[in-house]
Amino acid sequence: MNSPKRTLVFGLLASGLLAGCGGNVTLKAPTIPEPLLEQIDMSVGVRMPENFEHFVHEEEIYGSQSWSIDLGRSNAALFEQLFAYMFSRVVVLAPGDDPQLMPIDALIEPSIDAFEFSTPEQSNTEAFAVWIRYRVKVYDPEGKLVSNWPVAAYGKSQTTMLGDSEALQQAAVLAMRDAAALMIMKFDNVTRISSLAGGASQPTSPLLRRQQSTEAGEQAAAPEGATSE
């Protein structure tokens, strides 16, 4: 269930939907107004899964029509906007990019675990409902997984004022809004990504530690009162 606080975070979210036809639904990328939050001062890389560029969910409901829900690249656009608001520098990686060769403090990999929906006939209501389960993985600069966060989102839209396709579109966008609001509020608390800030600027820290250890050993072995030139 959406809390009032999560709804308030993106109360002005603009969806910009295309009308569907019958059981075919197509979404445009939603836009996110800039939220009121303190940006985390760090550089992050974002690696999108391939299906974020052309995500399509197809389902045949027994005794009813078949549905094809084309989210296009709306998921990719959602996360690009969201992370641009959350972090001071965001680099979206191309498929062949090696994150360990890039000056980033952390790598974020969002994905979709599941997309489900229900029709008014199934729920015996006048509403479409959409459930999206995202997964957000965070890696440190060395490629170690430091957080694996499942993000459950929900959206519901009545058919009383909208056609079936429009109501399903709206429910999908509300689910995406719900996920975005949750990540805005809890991302750092859950993933602790801010603790990785500055990691990209310390690639030689192991060498520095070895040098400091060597110097400390030399000073301990030197006669009292001796100085190094």
- Tens-digit pLDDT profile for residues 51-73: 888 889 888 876 667 888 998 88
What pLDDT is attached to residue 124?
Answer: 84
What pLDDT is attached to residue 64?
Answer: 67
Going by C-alpha positions, the residue among 182, 169, 141, 207 that lies closest to residue 30 is 169
Q: What is the pTM of this model?
A: 0.74
Class of the CATH-defined domain 4-221: alpha beta
Give the C-alpha separation, 157 to 127, whole Å: 5
Instruction: Give residues with Cβ within 8 angstroms of 67, minimum separation 6.
Output: 23, 24, 25, 57, 58, 59, 60, 61, 117, 168
Query: By the 8 A CB rule, do 27 and 167 touch?
Result: no
Number of Cβ atoms within 10 Å of the Cβ of 59: 13
| Residues paired with residue 33 on neighbouring β-strands, in sequence order | none
pLDDT per residue as tens digits for the range 136-194: 999 999 999 999 999 999 999 988 776 788 888 889 999 999 999 999 999 999 999 99
What pLDDT is attached to residue 205?
Answer: 37
Between 203 and 181, the higher pLDDT residue: 181
Going by C-alpha positions, the residue among 189, 179, 214, 190 that lies closest to residue 75 is 179
